[in-house]
């Protein structure tokens, strides 16, 4: 994967999230993909499970904004960092570890997210 291809995938991820469109979400992932919302819990397994979980409680499109950029790309693995800001004032720093298959689909996605404190150093 090249940096530009990873950014295109991230842009499609944000678009799928904003549209709450199961087809767009599914188009990001390989059939046997895994998705871990944190590195300690058992991940979701399979594209269908990922899409179903994502659609259980979708975020309203106007309730958030996100900006993510690839930090490092090594072969088919990428580290992506960024920020998610919600309309309610909550801001999260994000780190994603993504493994891609040879078609550019996500095989494994692991997310770390940290809520930024309001006010003070690191506040968003």
- Chain segment 59-101, per-residue pLDDT in tens: 898 999 999 999 999 999 999 999 999 999 999 999 999 999 9
Domain boundaries, the chain: 3-115
> What mean pLDDT do residues 35-60 have?
94
Amino acid 124: pLDDT:
45
Class of the 3-115 domain?
alpha beta
Q: Are 37 and 45 in contact (CB under 8 A)?
A: no
> What mean pLDDT do residues 96-122 have?
88
Give the three-state DSSP class for 122. Answer: coil
pLDDT at 122 over 80: no
Mean pLDDT, all residues of the chain: 93
The per-residue DSSP string of 69-115 comes to EEEEEETTEEEEEEEEEETTS-EEEEEEEEEE-TTS-EEEEEEEEEE
């Amino acid at each position: 994967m090249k940096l530009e291809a990873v950014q295109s995938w991230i842009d499609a991820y944000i678009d799928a999230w904003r549209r709450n469109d199961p087809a767009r979400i599914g188009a990001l992932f390989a059939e046997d993909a895994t998705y871990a919302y944190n590195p300690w819990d058992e991940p979701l397994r399979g594209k269908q499970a990922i899409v179903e979980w994502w659609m259980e409680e979708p975020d309203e499109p106007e309730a958030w904004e996100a900006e993510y950029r690839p930090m490092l790309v090594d072969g088919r693995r990428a580290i992506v960092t960024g920020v998610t800001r919600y309309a309610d004032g909550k801001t999260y720093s994000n780190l994603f570890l993504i493994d891609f298959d040879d078609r550019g689909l996500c095989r494994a996605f692991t997310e770390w997210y940290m809520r930024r404190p309001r006010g003070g150093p690191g506040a968003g």
